[in-house]
């Protein structure tokens, strides 16, 4: 299988350009966790480290989706845009939260990922963590300075999303952090 992948990476893509979904050799190298090839493509072949597929997915998005912290570290060391957004406005931080990869979340935040950036629907990383019920990430993002009162395009706060999804522990934490009573709603803030 690796031979087929290698032939594809070195042969078909370089002859035909990007694949049907817009992935180039770097996307595939990252997807296949080929550390050496990834370094070669960036350093020697000068492939754009922030190149995007048709869906706006960058190599860094792929590394995060693959839960590959060493590859994330390599791409950031080589200059990848930590806040690059796909066509839906999702950043690698959004992806890490969606994958519930706390170590990657921490790494991205400690390397200055924008913790208040929103996707096209106005969903911040804190909204996403609250929605998924990931209390550990919610606590971490708030301690890192995430806007607890941020509203999405529909006017919902992270608390509203946690409450709507019956993520009671997260909703209670957010209420306690805000110093609000459980009977108060976000439109009274």
Are residues 70 and 36 in contact, defined by beta-carbon separation less than 8 angstroms?
no
Q: Count CB-CB contacts under 10 A for residue 16.
A: 9
* Token duo for residue 98: 């969606």
- State the Cα–Cα distance between residues 112 and 107, nearest whole angstrom: 9
**Token pair recorded at residue 119:** 């996707």
Domain with CATH 1.25.40.20 in the chain: 1-114, 121-189
Query: Cβ(21)–Cβ(56) under 8 Å?
Result: no
Q: What is the rounded distance in angstroms from the CA atom of residue 185 to the CA atom of residue 104? A: 33
In this predicted structure, the answer to whether residue 184 has a pLDDT above a threshold of 80 is: no
Residue of 152, 68, 139 whose CA lies nearest to 103: 68
Residues in the chain: 189
**What is the C-alpha to C-alpha distance for residues 125 and 116, in angstroms, rounded to an integer?**
7
Residue 144 CB burial class (10 angstroms; 0-12, 13-18, ≥19): middle
- Answer yes or no: CATH 3.40.440.10 is held by domain 121-189: no
Q: What is the pTM of this model?
A: 0.85
Beta-carbon contacts of residue 4 (< 8 Å; ≥ 6 apart): none
pLDDT-based confidence at residue 10 (cuts at 50, 70, 90):
very low
- pLDDT tens-digit profile of 25-78? 999 999 999 999 999 999 999 999 999 999 999 999 999 999 999 999 999 999
What number does CATH give the domain 1-114? 1.25.40.20
pLDDT in tens, 117-173: 999 999 999 999 999 999 999 999 999 999 999 999 999 999 999 999 999 999 999
């Amino acid at each position: 299988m690796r031979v087929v992948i290698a032939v594809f990476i070195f042969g078909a893509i370089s002859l035909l350009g990007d694949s049907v979904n817009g992935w180039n050799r770097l996307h595939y190298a990252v997807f296949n966790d080929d550390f050496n090839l990834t370094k070669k493509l960036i350093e020697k072949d000068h492939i754009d480290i922030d190149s995007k597929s048709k869906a706006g997915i960058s190599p860094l998005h792929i590394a995060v989706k693959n839960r590959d912290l060493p590859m994330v570290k390599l791409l950031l060391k080589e200059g990848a845009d930590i806040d690059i957004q796909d066509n839906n406005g999702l950043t690698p931080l959004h992806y890490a939260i969606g994958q519930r990869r706390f170590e990657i979340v921490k790494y991205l935040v400690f390397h200055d990922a924008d913790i208040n950036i929103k996707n096209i629907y106005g969903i911040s990383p804190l909204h996403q963590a609250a929605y998924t019920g990931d209390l550990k990430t919610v606590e971490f993002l708030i301690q890192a300075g995430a806007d607890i009162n941020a509203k999405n395009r529909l006017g919902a706060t992270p608390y509203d999303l946690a409450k709507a999804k019956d993520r009671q522990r997260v909703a209670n934490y957010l209420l306690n952090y805000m110093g609000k009573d459980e009977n108060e709603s976000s439109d009274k803030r």
